[in-house]
Chain A
């Protein structure tokens, strides 16, 4: 039983990491708190549901979700956020507005029913891990989460693009003074962050269901992950995701109605000592 719950916590953490890493990248480099991130997650889920269901291919659904949400991110960045560049409070409220509109739009298109993204046959059924029967698909989510962490870590630490992002997180002004084309870097990062939200929606939509309000739930958890980990920190997001994922799972088992206290109590306590999170610095 304990092993089962542990795996539940770890798979949820993997999903949270994917969604929160996109959020923290954008927050870290562009200083944009994108509160439409939850809506982008839900959009990814719905697109994966439609494309995956019609083509019969889970992979096609995932790719379509990432592309569609990256394009939505591009439209959001170029179409709206561009006009309030550098004014963070206006940006935040703008993305809140976008999130509300998108949610309402989803309600019109997909209604209030819950959907699940269909999984491929190879990932259906259960496998035996650590002596417990466990759904194969959730194990796949766990592995995918780890793979994406490794991939992002390599990009951030071993490529020129990653070095530019890290430099931008530390000191955006200095970076632009060295002659780097920030505009392009920002657009690419915003699209990458959005694509990660879309990927999360496709992954999560197959084992948590998609419904109006799912975006707010995932947004709360992602915010907590980013707040714990610190702005723009990949490692912080991973640690935060593990913490929140495990606390949430065990909290739901032991104190079903009060799980929110179990999850967010430690976050509040941490913030009392480190207001900018584990790896974060003031923006």
Chain B
């Protein structure tokens, strides 16, 4: 039964380019990209019990690397792989530093680490273009067509989602969930808790990096905003709105937040205020996400 639903969902998503005008198709592409980011955050927050605030920076680092590498003459597909690899390398460094802490301290550390990346992108003008950012030259030839790009994002996004879905259902994912519930018990049972958390962190960073590489193809432009704190907050909020501990919820969260952004931007320029108020409202009234809220209402 579930297979039928998923298949129907995929068919619906795949038929979007035939139904939507190009502007709305762009928004749909963005939703798909950010749902991958939200899922990668969820991998850590929902399954390993470590809530990160650095995923915007990891995501954006990949975007930067893809655009810089492509400008240096690297083929686009190789540039994307380089971007994901850079995100992985960054996650290794962040992971080593952060996994020994937990709770609010973990959040604080990852936040500081993410802000450092933002500062570097802002100040290292020679490489990153500083505040002006960098315009890429990626949307050429096959990628110039927005319908094809959407299908590419959909296929890659579906594969990544499937990979994450398998990961959280694997023995590794089960161990992570047990660590979330009680790290000390898992350590006493002989599991290497830090190693599991580290692996989860790096895996999550790689997925965020893949989303960042897709974003480079889609946006063809990168600036410090892409690695700034609101990006990390947005990724985390999407994961929370969709429901922490529910991988597919990322799609719901990304849809809700991006739709809200589009809607609000039509009337006012105060998107950051709305994002802030949304964060406040969710934390006060629906910390379990929309699905959690609905479940609670129905009980």
Do residues A33 and B233 form an inter-chain contact, with CB atoms below 8 A?
A: no
Query: Any chain A CB within 8 A of the CB of B22?
Result: no
Do residues A257 and B276 form an inter-chain contact, with CB atoms below 8 A?
A: no
Main SS at interface, chain A: helix
Q: Name the distance in Å between B147's Cβ and chain A's nearest Cβ.
A: 35
Q: Name the distance in Å between B167's Cβ and chain A's nearest Cβ.
A: 23
Give A282 to B108 CA distance when docked, in angstroms.
13
| Among B119-127, B214-222, B247-255, the stretch in contact with A | B119-127
Q: A97-B276, A219-B115, A227-B112 are in contact. Are A31 and B104 (CB under 8 A)?
A: yes
Do residues B276 and A283 form an inter-chain contact, with CB atoms below 8 A?
A: no
Contacts of B15 in A (CB 8 A): none
Do residues B236 and A93 form an inter-chain contact, with CB atoms below 8 A?
A: yes
Give A98 to B283 CA distance when docked, in angstroms.
11
User: Nearest chain-A residue to B114 (Cβ)?
Assistant: A220
Give A93 to B284 CA distance when docked, in angstroms.
10
Contacts of B284 in A (CB 8 A): 80, 83-84, 94
Contacts of A33 in B (CB 8 A): 104, 107-108
Do residues B283 and A84 form an inter-chain contact, with CB atoms below 8 A?
A: yes
User: Nearest chain-A residue to B277 (Cβ)?
Assistant: A101
Query: Any chain B CB within 8 A of the CB of A88?
Result: yes
Do residues B107 and A271 form an inter-chain contact, with CB atoms below 8 A?
A: no
Do residues B97 and A272 form an inter-chain contact, with CB atoms below 8 A?
A: yes
Give A196 to B111 CA distance when docked, in angstroms.
22
The 0/1 profile, CB within 8 Å of B marked 1, for residues 67-96 of chain A is: 000000000000010011001111111101
Do residues A104 and B108 form an inter-chain contact, with CB atoms below 8 A?
A: no
Q: A258-B124, A271-B109, A272-B97 are in contact. Are A216 and B115 (CB under 8 A)?
A: yes
- Give chain A interface residues in 247-267, CB to chain B under 8 Å: 256-261, 264, 267
Q: Name the distance in Å between A102's Cβ and chain B's nearest Cβ.
A: 8
- Give chain B interface residues in 271-286, CB to chain A under 8 Å: 272-273, 275-280, 282-284
Q: A227 contacts which of B104, B108, B237, B272 (Cβ < 8 Å)?
A: B108
Do residues B279 and A100 form an inter-chain contact, with CB atoms below 8 A?
A: yes
User: Nearest chain-A residue to B237 (Cβ)?
Assistant: A93
Contacts of A89 in B (CB 8 A): 51, 103-104, 107
Query: Any chain A CB within 8 A of the CB of B16?
Result: no
Q: B230 contacts which of A92, A100, A102, A256 (Cβ < 8 Å)?
A: A100
Q: B233 contacts which of A31, A96, A102, A257 (Cβ < 8 Å)?
A: A96
Contacts of B120 in A (CB 8 A): 258, 260-261
Query: Any chain B CB within 8 A of the CB of A103?
Result: yes
Query: Any chain B CB within 8 A of the CB of A156?
Result: no
Q: Name the distance in Å between A264's Cβ and chain B's nearest Cβ.
A: 5
Q: Name the distance in Å between A215's Cβ and chain B's nearest Cβ.
A: 10
Do residues B278 and A97 form an inter-chain contact, with CB atoms below 8 A?
A: yes
- Give chain A interface residues in 88-122, CB to chain B under 8 Å: 88-94, 96-105, 108
Query: Any chain A CB within 8 A of the CB of B89?
Result: no
Q: B280 contacts which of A98, A216, A224, A268 (Cβ < 8 Å)?
A: A98
User: Nearest chain-A residue to B127 (Cβ)?
Assistant: A257
Q: Name the distance in Å between A229's Cβ and chain B's nearest Cβ.
A: 13
Q: Name the distance in Å between A35's Cβ and chain B's nearest Cβ.
A: 7
Contacts of A84 in B (CB 8 A): 283-284
Q: Name the distance in Å between A97's Cβ and chain B's nearest Cβ.
A: 3
Contacts of A31 in B (CB 8 A): 104
Query: Any chain B CB within 8 A of the CB of A186?
Result: no
Contacts of A80 in B (CB 8 A): 280, 284
Q: Name the distance in Å between B140's Cβ and chain A's nearest Cβ.
A: 30
Do residues B279 and A227 form an inter-chain contact, with CB atoms below 8 A?
A: no
Do residues B272 and A97 form an inter-chain contact, with CB atoms below 8 A?
A: no
Contacts of A51 in B (CB 8 A): none
Give A268 to B113 CA distance when docked, in angstroms.
9
The 0/1 profile, CB within 8 Å of A marked 1, for residues 65-95 of chain B is: 0000000000000000000000000000100
Query: Any chain B CB within 8 A of the CB of A223?
Result: yes
- Known pairs A89-B104, A220-B119, A276-B101 / 8 extra A-B pairs, C-beta < 8 Å: A92-B108, A94-B279, A96-B229, A102-B276, A217-B119, A257-B125, A275-B97, A275-B109
Which residues from chain B sit less than 8 Å from chain A, CB to CB?
A: 51, 53, 93, 96-97, 100-101, 103-105, 107-109, 111-113, 115-116, 118-120, 123-126, 228-230, 233, 236-237, 240, 270, 272-273, 275-280, 282-284, 287
Contacts A/B (CB < 8 Å), 9 sampled: A84-B283, A90-B287, A100-B272, A101-B277, A108-B270, A257-B123, A264-B112, A275-B101, A275-B105
Which residues from chain A sit less than 8 Å from chain B, CB to CB?
A: 31, 33, 35, 80, 83-84, 87-94, 96-105, 108, 216-217, 219-220, 223-224, 227, 231, 256-261, 264, 267-268, 271-272, 275-276, 282-283
